Chain A
Amino acid sequence: MREIAVLSLTRLGDQIQVTPVLSGLRKRYPDARLHLVVKKAFRNVTDLLPGVDVIHEIDGDALAQALTDPELPFVERYRRAQRLIAPLLDQRFDLALNLTHSNSSSVLLSMLNVGTLVGATLDREGGRLVANPWLRHMSTLVRTRRLYLINLVDVYLGATGLLGRGERLSIRIPESARTVATELLPGGEPRIAIQLAASDEIRAWPVERFAATLRDLRRRLPELRFVVVGVPSELPRAKALEQACPECTFENLIGKTELAVLAAVVERVRLLLTNDTGTMHVAAAVGTPTCALFLGPAYPHETGPYAEGHWLIHSRVGCAPCNYHVQCGFPVCHTDVPPEWLAEVAFRILRGAAVGEVPPLPRAELLRSGFDEDGLWELVPAHRQVPEATDLLGLVYRGVFVETLGGPPAHLERAWTRAADRYGVKPGEWSTVLPDDLLPRLARCGELAHRGEQVAMGLGHPSADGAAARQAGNILAEVDQEIYGHARGQPLLLPLSYTLEGDLLSLPEAELPELALESAHHYRALRRRVALLERAIHGPDSPTLSLPKEANP
């Protein structure tokens, strides 16, 4: 493995979340050259990333301007697009990873001269294909996020075979940046940093709520200084915050910190109070505690800071997390967190007191980040919650998916223990929380998966003739439709449908026997998922249930 490319055509936070993969790849392939493909606008992030040998910039802004300029002849737009990607096409890569989720990146990946592809790409005829089960599942399960409790970084690590090896977020802060940070924040007074905005308005907590929080904190800790960070467009928010808190001491660094300095500034403060932002991931990378609000479509289980000991707040209102691109006229998740309560959380973090002893909120949860027994990142609620079906099944799905994707085996005992600790639901009592139709539907899905596996195995036999193959193909099509029907009829089972559908759609171009065996593997994986879910629901005292063997992808 000599040349490895990582496509990360995203924003600051996503770039930081790629760092465990970069450092893991560097360790595994110490002699390989590591190429990172980024958008020019985020080029400066790459200075902080470890282990990268070659940076390829794509000037996304110039391309965007060219593609949307009605005055520019089409042929010129084409030429510009061609010029933009031409340098990448000259290069031969042994391995290319697409850790971007856009369609354009999948087209780009398909154009590269690559030995092994990982991530979203196109098949030779132009169909979208996610060449890796971890990334494929993530892209389909984004539609049932409350049941998918796996952090994005673990997905990346799983996709690259680096899961559970202790890789963490990391960035390199140049000493010069630390010097600037010291000049900007002289003295040793206690400080917290605040990031007011987010990538999306709906993800940003209202300024007046931040202000009320800071006033409360100031009352408790008069010596505390407040460092406001962000890009120039956040200046009006910062002004509004300062006006609303005349008694607070602000150090307004908005627009004054290039990225390395931002990292050094965050490193110098005791706490970052923020929405789900790139700065949050910077804080996690430099070891500064964060207290982060996940609002709107932001989902802490998915993009929480990949480190231990961070405190995240998320609404438990039914619509949270909302779908991407939702236009919400009444974001109740913004009002679920009282400012004085958040001030109490921040106060306890700063004082090193027991944060989990803050009173619980009726409609929001406080979560602490950490790593589970297998080294996968997880969130632990600070308070016991009223159980919802998604809470329980989310615990099982987590283990089930990790296992069937080639990660550590699922331990139902853990799910039972966590369900009892976090939600007060003992093993064997899960049915009291779950809908009645769940088990019958699961049973039918299991039968169908078994049938699918058998038929596919028969097809994989070299003696299968044309007529038999057609008949088997028809049976499988019916089996698939019935599975999809059963699973889609119950939202809690949607992950089963989406994953099987995604897997079957992404079957490689191959001869029939090979395709059949690959399909059989996916049906077996489904059987295993179904069986684990059934077992989890019935509890440990259900001797009649036997689990199919683990499915090895």
Chain B
Amino acid sequence: MNVLQRNLEALRTRDPELADRIESWRGSDEVRCERARSGAPTFRIDGRLEASAEAPEAEGRDHASQFLAQAEEAGATRLVVFGLGVHTLVSLEGFDGPILVVEPSLSLCRAVLTQVDLSAALTRIDLIVSDSPGPVIAHNTFTSVDRGLLVFHPTARRRAAELFDQLCHHFHPGGTPERLRIAVIPPLWGGTLPVADACGRALRQIGHEVIEIDLKPFVSAYREVQGIAALSSGDHGRSLVQGFMRLMGEIVLAIVEEQEPDVAFALAQAPLDPPLLHAIRNCGTTTALWFCEDFRVMRYWKELAPHYDTVFHIQAEDFAEPLRESGAYGVPLALGFDPSIHRPIELTPDERMRYGCDVSFIGAGYHNRVETFPTLLDLGLRIYGTEWPEGPVFRDAMPEPNARQSPEQSNRIFNASRINLNLHSSPWCDGVNPVGDYVNPRTFELAGAQAFQLVDGRRELPLYFEPGLEIETFTNIQECRKKILYYRERDDERREIAERGFQRAVREHTYRHRMEEAVTALRSGPSPVVPRRRRHRSVSDVLEGVQEIPELAAVLSRIPPEARWSTDAISVAVAKGEGALSSEEKVLLFMREYEQEVRAYHAERAGR
């Protein structure tokens, strides 16, 4: 049995039709197999080499490790690889999830399968050979909830650019092909912090480059400043805190100036004031705020909103007009959930013991909750969260008094409770807020965990879930009590509602969906964002055309294509101390050193 037959036999176990097509293909001779210097086969299609002429296996390993790193970073459980990278596939064994390979050229595919034994890989990957998007889009990876991550071999993308762009369009709405560099700017602390993390992950999943700005190291310093401010006289204390926040903002600005993102995507409470926002805009960066707070309670939006290019908000109906009047451009964008955190899980017996209960609630001790929950305590309500009053009323109901729950712990509690209570906070109502409109993240998180919830009926809830079918609601605390008693005894009904809510949530309400919407809005808004011309360009931009010199391309392929270009990138390519340098490597080193000397000379002159 020759190599082709062995490969086709393996392929037949998954796709007999494709195996037949390849076997019978007598296509053009545009593909030629050549031997690289290392002895491994490499292929030339339409006169261009598909892989390194020097060491294609090493190049394949590099591609594979890049793909795996991208998948890990994005939390992707599926991988769609554009281009049949012969030497890449073998090294993708480390990926646990499904892999779909899309190869536009049947000729290349046959040539590869004739020369290289891929039988082991072919039994575990899905291969589609097509030069049109139809068969790809119909594949179950594309139609599934988790569409995974699209990665590509640059050579394949170059020879089938149109197909790649079409796939991108279907695969990543709001995402590639025009990959953006997005800085996610979190608040220093607070409930929006996990949302910022989730946004970063989601943006990566849809193929954007994310600059995460981490302010967590400054939190302890902030608390110190707060402590001193509390002891100071009013004005002085305030200016201390303001000064600290201003410093945080300057740090953000410094990162933006250095990293040159296309978009600065700030979450509510991010430490940016109007002068800083203008400075960021002056860097050429589009600014966006996701104001995921109640605009009626948190009034600071008035000072900030007009200084952002786009303000995303969670109150689709009532906030649009005030925003417009303030001069801001507003786009409604509901909250969501991150399926990598909030998901159905199997609990251990210990966890069941610890968290299992009839009714639970996770959240801070806001006024309306403190007022109403005492009437539910006799139903076995367990309360988790901070800022609850100390004293006898809630003491027995709080297994972990005033402790903050991590997102992972919360998910365990959601999964362990028969009924999860979700009462939106209100600082002024005694119970259910009769004019409450937006939907809190807990609603989506509970749905994502496939947990049954009773939520107060919000005006905008029907935009996201169908009450009574996908979610159960109450309008006052008496109704809540009644429904707890009702559902407590009805396992099947709870399970069915939770299942329908879960399906809707994963179909429409992940942070990935939100970020796709947000980027689409940013691209189509009054000042559409496009990838800006950077002082610092990506490696793949800079190295366009180096394939013309295969030996040079082989050296430079060691640099991750999405890395930021600098002369230091050459240091990555030219690995010192790992064998004799080639002449290409020496020329590259010469270029790097000379450029650095020239820049140092000019910098010194400019400094005087």
The answer to whether A and B interact is: yes
Residues of B within 8 Å of A60, CB to CB, are: 594
A388 neighbours in B (Cβ, 8 Å): none
B586 contacts A103, C-beta separation under 8 Å: no
Hey, which chain A residues are within 8 Å of B576, CB to CB? 125-127
Known: A104-B593, A122-B581, A125-B576. A68 touches B586 (CB 8 A): no
Excluding A67-B598, A122-B589, 6 further A-B contacts by CB distance (< 8 Å) are: A74-B542, A78-B549, A107-B593, A125-B578, A126-B581, A201-B608
* B543 at the binding interface (Cβ < 8 Å): yes
Interface of A is mostly: helix
Question: B interface vs A, CB < 8 Å?
Answer: 535, 537, 542-546, 548-549, 552, 574-581, 583, 585-591, 593-600, 604, 607-608
Residues from chain B with a CB closer than 8 A to the CB of A76 are: 545
A63 and B607 CA atoms in complex are apart in Å by 23
Contact present for B590 and A111 (CB under 8 Å): yes
Please, which residues of chain A bring their CB within 8 A of the CB of B543? 74-75
Against B, the Cβ 8 Å flags (1 = close, 0 = not) of A97-128 are 00000111011101100000000001011110
Assess whether A68 is in contact with B598, with CB atoms less than 8 Å apart. Answer: yes
Cα of A308 to Cα of B570 in the assembled complex, Å: 47
Output the least CB separation between B519 and chain A (Å).
Answer: 27
Chain A contacts of B578 at CB under 8 A? Answer: 125
B598 to chain A, nearest CB (A): 4
A85 within 8 A of B: yes
Scoring B537, B548, B595 by chain A CB atoms within 10 A of each residue's CB, the highest score goes to B595
Whose C-beta in chain B lies nearest to the C-beta of A202? B608
Question: Quick one: which of A103, A104, A126, A325 contacts B574, CB cutoff 8 A?
Answer: A126
Establish whether residues A85 and B545, one from each chain, have CB atoms under 8 Å apart when the complex forms: no
15 contacts between A and B (CB under 8 A): A64-B595, A74-B542, A74-B544, A74-B545, A78-B588, A85-B587, A104-B590, A104-B593, A107-B589, A124-B580, A125-B580, A126-B575, A126-B581, A127-B577, A327-B608
Q: Is the CB of B587 within 8 A of A104?
A: no
| A77 with B591, Cβ < 8 A, contacts A102-B597, A110-B586, A325-B604 known | yes
A325 to B535, CA, bound (A): 25
A104 to B577, CA, bound (A): 18
Q: When chains A and B are docked, how far (Å) is the Cα of A125 from the Cα of B579?
A: 5
Contact between A103 and B597, CB atoms less than 8 A apart: yes
Whether the Cβ atoms of A104 and B594 lie closer than 8 Å is yes
Residue contact B585 to A126, C-beta cutoff 8 Å? yes
Residues of B within 8 A of A78 (CB): 546, 549, 552, 587-588, 591
| B545 engages A111 (CB within 8 Å) | no
CA of A106 to CA of B542 in the docked complex: distance in angstroms?
26
Give, as a whole number of angstroms, the nearest-CB distance from B3 to chain A.
35
**Is A107 in contact with B608, judged by CB distance below 8 angstroms?**
no
- Among residues 72 to 95 in chain A, which have CB atoms less than 8 Å away from a CB atom of chain B? 73-78, 81-82, 85
Chain A residues with Cβ under 8 A from B593's Cβ? 102-104, 106-107
Report whether A107 and B546 are in contact in the complex, using a CB–CB cutoff of 8 Å. no
Is chain B's binding surface mostly helix, strand, loop or mixed? helix
Could you tell me if A67 and B594 are in contact, using CB atoms closer than 8 angstroms?
yes
The answer to whether A75 touches B546 (Cβ under 8 A) is yes
A106 vs B576: C-alpha distance when bound (angstroms): 15
If A78-B549, A85-B590, A125-B576 touch, whether A68 touches B583 (CB-CB below 8 Å) is no
Within A29-46, which residues are at the interface with B (CB < 8 Å)? none
For B595, list chain A residues within 8 Å (CB). Answer: 64, 67-68
- Are A81 and B580 closer than 8 Å at their CB atoms? no
Q: Is the CB of A73 within 8 A of B586?
A: no
Residues of A within 8 A of B579 (CB): 125
**Chain A 313-339: CB-based contact to B (< 8 A → 1; otherwise 0):** 000000000000101000000000000
Residue in A closest to B595 when the chains form the complex, CB atoms: A67
Find the B residue at minimum CB distance from A89.
Answer: B583
CA A472 – CA B594 in complex, angstroms?
Answer: 40
When distances are taken between beta carbons in the complex, the residues of chain A under 8 Å from B589 are 107, 122, 126
Beyond A124-B581, A125-B579, A126-B581, whether A108 also contacts B590 by CB under 8 A is: yes
- Select from chain A the residue with minimum beta-carbon distance to B546: A75
Q: For A110, what are the chain B residues with a Cβ–Cβ distance below 8 Å? A: 581, 586
A348 CA / B166 CA spacing, docked (Å): 86
The docked-state distance in angstroms from the alpha carbon of A338 to that of B542 is: 55
State A126–B575 Cα separation when bound (angstroms). Answer: 8
Q: Is the CB of A104 within 8 A of B552?
A: no
**Most chain B CB neighbours (cut-off 10 Å) among A76, A85, A111:** A111
A377 CB → nearest B CB, Å = 29
Q: A74-B546, A125-B577, A327-B607 are in contact. Are A64 and B583 (CB under 8 A)?
A: no
**Across the interface, do B598 and A64 meet the contact criterion of CB distance under 8 Å?**
yes
Q: Nearest chain B CB to A22's CB is how many angstroms away?
A: 25
Residues of chain B with a CB closer than 8 A to A64's CB = 594-595, 598
* Cα separation A64 to B549 with both chains bound (whole Å): 22
Chain A, 199-216, contact with B by CB distance < 8 Å: what is the 0/1 string?
A: 011000000000000000
Nearest chain A CB to B548's CB is how many angstroms away? 6
> How far is A398 from B543 in the complex, measured between Cα atoms in Å?
50
Separation of A201 and B608 alpha carbons in the complex (Å): 8
* Bound CA–CA A60/B608 (angstroms): 23
Distance between Cα atoms of A102 and B545 in the complex (Å): 30
B598 touches A81 (CB 8 A): no
Q: Which residue of chain A has the shortest Cβ distance to B588 in the bound complex? A: A78
Give the distance to chain A from B543, nearest Cβ to Cβ, in Å.
Answer: 6
Chain A stretch 2-24: residues in CB contact (< 8 A) with chain B:
none
* CB closest chain-A residue, reference B580: A124
Contact B591 A67 (CB under 8 A): yes
**Nearest opposing residue in chain A for B607, CB measure:** A327
Are B577 and A126 interface neighbours, CB within 8 A?
yes
Q: How far is the CA of A428 from the CA of B546 in the complex (A)?
A: 68
Contact among A68, A111, A126, A200 with B599 in the assembled complex (CB-CB below 8 Å): A68
Q: How far is the CB of A117 from chain B (nearest CB, A)?
A: 14
**Residue in contact with A81 in the complex, picked from B535, B577, B581, B590, CB distance below 8 Å:** B590
Q: Which residue of A lies closest to B589 (CB)?
A: A107
- Per-residue B-contact encoding for A130-149, CB less than 8 Å = 1, 0 else: 00000000000000000000
Which residues in A have their C-beta under 8 angstroms from that of B535?
70
On whether A111 and B548 interact (CB within 8 A), knowing A67-B595, A67-B598, A126-B576, the answer reads no
The answer to whether A104 and B581 touch across the interface, beta carbons within 8 angstroms, is no
Q: Which residues of B are found within 8 Å of A68, using beta-carbon distances?
A: 595, 598-599
When chains A and B are docked, how far (Å) is the Cα of A526 from the Cα of B537? 49
Could you tell me the distance in whole angstroms from the C-beta of A107 to the nearest C-beta in chain B?
4
Distance from B30 Cβ to chain A, minimum over Cβ atoms (Å) = 24
CA distance A68 to B594 in the complex (A): 10
- Distance in Å: Cβ of B573 to nearest Cβ of chain A: 11
